[in-house]
């Protein structure tokens, strides 16, 4: 009888052990199947959270500037209004003349009240294209403006033909003159007479680029020998130079002037490839561009248009 009990106990123990092992195997296989269905828990999943050592993806690059196709026809009665930088006066006029000749019944109206005024007019919707001698600000781009490069140019330092200073200035000397630290021509190797600085108004894109290129984004001087013009216009500035004044302008506007001379910078004239004061000129438009804007910019950026731009300079 005791032997039968021991046999029964042994059989029950074996059954329990097999049950435990079977349950464990069932749980293991169930978990494996669940993991294969759920990639979040998979250690090789591409969707697992980034660790502190994982590089975040780079932000998307800015969209490329829209390229406009050269127009084959432009409807009669089309009008394009351009305003802005005085640096693009000659380019605007040359493109206007050829565009109107190419497409009968089309009119291009140009003005030059400074880059900032042109951009403000573009934002207000009173013009179609802003000619600007500076890049657009982030705020202006956020408002829907887009700028496309139209030409390259140099900013020239100019003095009157009667000015007795006939040497080269260093970049540091130019900075000192326009910040008021140098106020006599004798301090840069010239005659002993005061330097009169003729500055452009704050709406001038040329002034903004001059501030960046020449003054390293520092301020102009506020000394009595520095006069700021009320209007951004090159001809009145040249007329004010006299025999001891100095100013600055886009090189294309002064290259053929008989009343002024350009001053070499670090021994380089504006024609030199490595001249230090070079910049890009732009046409800006507001998205979405009108058909008139597309036609004019397509013409201006075409091989024919770019040859017109080059000849105008």
Write the secondary structure of the chain as one string of H (helix), E (strand) and C (coil). CHHHHHHHHHHHHHHHHHHHHHHHHHHHHHHHHHHHHCHHHCCCCCCCCCCCCCCCCCCCCCCCCCCCCCCCCCCCCCEEEEEECHHHHHHHHHHHHHHHHHCCCCEEEECCCCHHHHHHHHHHCCCCEEEECCCCCHHHHHCCEEEEEEEEEEEEEEEECCCCCCCCECHHHHHHHHCCCCCEHHHHCCCCCECEEEECCCCCHHHHHHHHHCCCCCCCCCCCCEEECCCCCHHHHHHCCCCCEEEEEEHHHHCCCCCEEECCECCECCCCCCCCCEEEEEEEEECCCCHHHHHHHHHHCCHHHHHHHHHHC
Domain assignment present for residue 23? The answer is: no
Compute the Cα dihedral for 63, 67, 73, 75 and give only its sign: positive
15: its two tokens: 């059954």
Whether residue 49 has pLDDT greater than 90: no
Whether residue 235 has pLDDT greater than 70: yes
CA dihedral 189, 246, 181, 278 (to 10 degrees): -100
Whether residue 37 has pLDDT greater than 50: no
Domain assignment present for residue 69? The answer is: no
The Cα–Cα gap between 59 and 172 comes to 39
Instruction: Look at residue 21 in the predicted model and tell me its pLDDT.
Output: 52
pLDDT per residue as tens digits for the range 122-157: 999 999 999 999 999 999 999 999 999 999 889 999
Q: Does residue 108 sit in the same domain as residue 147?
A: yes
Q: Does residue 163 sit in the same domain as residue 274?
A: yes
Whether residue 159 has pLDDT greater than 90: yes
Q: Does residue 268 sit in the same domain as residue 291?
A: no
Q: Does residue 157 sit in the same domain as residue 257?
A: yes
- What average pLDDT score do residues 173-192 get? 97
Q: Does residue 138 sit in the same domain as residue 161?
A: no
Q: Does residue 88 sit in the same domain as residue 182?
A: no
> At 252, is the pLDDT very low, low, confident or very high (cuts 50, 70, 90)?
confident
Q: Which whole-number Å values give the CA distances from 285 to 204, 235, 304, in the listed order?
A: 18, 27, 21
> At 48, is the pLDDT very low, low, confident or very high (cuts 50, 70, 90)?
very low
- How many CB atoms are located within 10 Å of the residue 302 CB? 15
Q: Does residue 225 sit in the same domain as residue 109?
A: no
The Cα–Cα gap between 155 and 66 comes to 28
Domain assignment present for residue 124? The answer is: yes
**DSSP β-bridge partners for residue 24:** none
Q: Does residue 271 sit in the same domain as residue 162?
A: yes
Contact between 240 and 219 (Cβ < 8 Å): no
Instruction: Look at residue 53 in the predicted model and tell me its pLDDT.
Output: 33
Domain assignment present for residue 31? The answer is: no
Q: Does residue 167 sit in the same domain as residue 257?
A: yes
pLDDT per residue as tens digits for the range 92-115: 999 999 999 999 999 999 999 999
Instruction: Look at residue 50 in the predicted model and tell me its pLDDT.
Output: 29
DSSP-derived pairing of the beta strands 278-286 and 129-132:
antiparallel
**Residue 227 structural domain:** 153-278
Rg (CA), the chain: 36
Lowest pLDDT segment from 30-34, 124-128, 148-152, 271-275: 30-34
Lowest pLDDT segment from 45-59, 125-139, 160-174, 258-272: 45-59
Supply the CATH number for residue 106's domain. Answer: 3.40.190.10
Whether residue 65 has pLDDT greater than 90: no
């Amino acid at each position: 009888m005791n032997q039968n009990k021991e046999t029964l106990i042994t059989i029950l123990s074996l059954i329990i052990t097999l049950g435990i092992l079977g349950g464990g195997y069932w749980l293991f296989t169930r978990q494996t199947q669940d993991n294969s269905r759920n990639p979040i828990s998979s250690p090789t999943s591409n969707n697992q959270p980034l660790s502190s050592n994982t590089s975040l993806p780079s932000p998307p690059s800015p969209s490329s500037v829209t390229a406009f196709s050269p127009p084959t026809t432009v409807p009669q009665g089309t009008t394009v209004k351009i305003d802005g930088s005085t640096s693009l006066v000659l380019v605007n006029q040359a493109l206007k003349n050829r565009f109107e000749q190419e497409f009968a019944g089309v009119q291009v109206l140009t003005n030059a009240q400074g880059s900032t005024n042109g951009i403000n007019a573009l934002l207000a919707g009173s013009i179609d294209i802003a000619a600007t001698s500076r890049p657009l600000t982030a705020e202006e781009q956020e408002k829907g403006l887009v700028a496309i490069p139209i030409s390259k140019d140099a900013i020239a330092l100019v003095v009157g033909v009667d000015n007795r200073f006939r040497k080269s200035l260093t970049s540091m000397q130019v900075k000192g003159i326009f910040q008021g630290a140098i106020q006599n021509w004798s301090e840069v190797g010239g005659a002993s007479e005061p330097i009169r600085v003729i500055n452009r108004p704050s709406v001038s894109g040329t002034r903004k680029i001059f501030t960046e290129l020449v003054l390293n984004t520092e301020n102009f001087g506020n000394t009595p020998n520095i006069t700021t013009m009320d209007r951004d216009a090159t001809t009145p500035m040249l007329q004010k130079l006299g025999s001891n004044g100095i100013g600055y302008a886009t090189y294309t506007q002064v290259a053929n002037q008989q009343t002024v001379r350009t001053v070499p910078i670090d021994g380089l004239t504006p024609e030199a490839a490595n001249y230090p004061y070079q910049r890009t000129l732009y046409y800006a438009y507001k998205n979405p561009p009108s058909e008139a804007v597309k036609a004019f910019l397509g013409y201006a950026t075409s091989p024919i248009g770019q040859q017109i731009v080059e000849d105008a300079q």
